[in-house]
Amino acid sequence: MLVAKFGGTSLATATRFRQAAAILTADSNRRICVCSAPGKRFPQDRKITDLLIDLAYSQDEEKSLLLRQEIEAHFQEITEELGIRQADMLHGQRISERLKAEEKDLSVDRYDGLIALGEVFSASVMAAYLCKLGYRAKFVGAGQAGILVHKIGDHYHMHEDSLNRVRDQLWPLLEGYDLLVIPGFYGRDFEGKRRPLSRGGSDVTAAWLSAALQADCEIWTDVSGVFVTDPRVHPAAQPLPYLSYGQMLEMAEQGASVLHPEAVWPLQAQELKLYVKNSFHPEDKGSVVGPNLHP
């Protein structure tokens, strides 16, 4: 079984959603899809998560209204082009209405409640689109998927009970569906509240789901693997075909933002493979991270 995670640039437009769905359905081993919030469509664009962070901090209703509209417009562009009706996702609620309701509802935890909603919307769109294509796909919220988080210092991290909970929640669902679509980047705390992981945390969600289900993990992003240095800064850099977990962790900790450092150990603990692949060029080999693999 494979857990396939798609990052923000891989889900920024309807075309990227179509491509992600084509990748997902090309191999029936891919049973779990983890979605990030849509990223930038063009260089001056703003990531949905950054807009949500602004909304969470906004004290000004006029500014909040514009932010809600901007977030909704980005999703609407995607859903209209994919031919998905808003009624087929989020129980028919409009995105701006859902945002407004959450802003009120979560006054105490406004920030935590709001910022992971981009992943919720993204996964809802993907599940609706896969259903439209004729697959038995189901949106499963991170809480329903069994992802439990707790605070250590200032940030939320995965709680180890998530492993058993995810297994108990997802195995029965896997019997009834081809694909389960799960939002990345957050979990529920012991009180049942939505709490975000640190930025880039959808990688961590994917790694923990993989560990719980003993599945290998695919990270679908916008570059063809893990490079010696950031390929955006050094275009001549080459992807590394194989890396050990230790090498991957060291690179991630030193700022190779292609993978969140906390995504390494859950896979390492069970010797599960991690594939870093380019959703724009799925034919490229990408990188494999595993136990002391030799080139």
CB 130 within 8 A of CB 24: yes
Tokens encoding 150: 């707790």
Residues 260-279 interacting with ligand ASP (rule: CB under 6 A) = none
What mask, x for binding ligand ASP by CB under 6 A, covers residues 202 to 221?
x-------------------
Q: Residue 30's closest CA among 38, 40, 20, 15? A: 20
Stretch of 131-139, 150-158, 197-205, 238-246 lying at the interface with ligand ASP (CB under 6 A) = 197-205
Judged by CB under 6 A, which of 16, 30, 47, 138 binds ligand ASP?
A: 47
Angle between helices 117-132 and 48-57 in degrees, nearest 10: 140
Residues that bind ligand ADP (CB under 6 A): 7-10, 36, 39, 200, 221-223, 226-227, 229-232, 251, 256-258
Stretch of 13-21, 136-144, 200-208, 245-253 lying at the interface with ligand ASP (CB under 6 A) = 200-208
What mask, x for binding Mg ion by CB under 5 A, covers residues 7 to 26?
x-------------------
Residues 6+ apart with CB under 8 A from 117: 52, 98, 99, 102
10 binds, among Mg ion, ligand ADP, ligand ASP, none (CB under 5 to 8 A by kind): ligand ADP
Judged by CB under 6 A, which of 143, 187, 201, 286 binds ligand ASP?
A: 201
DSSP labels, 143-182: TTTT-BEEEETTEEEE-TTHHHHHHHHHHHHHHH-SEEEE
Q: Which helix (H) or strand (E) holds 101?
A: helix 95-105
Residues 194-233 interacting with Mg ion (rule: CB under 5 A) = 200
DSSP labels, 53-68: HHHHH---HHHHHHHH
Q: Which helix (H) or strand (E) holds 35?
A: strand 30-35
Q: Does 243 bind ligand ASP (CB under 6 A)?
A: no
| Nearer of residues 93 and 238 to ligand ADP, judged by Cβ | 238
Which residues of the chain form contacts with ligand ASP (CB under 6 A)?
7-8, 36-37, 47, 49, 118, 184-185, 199-202
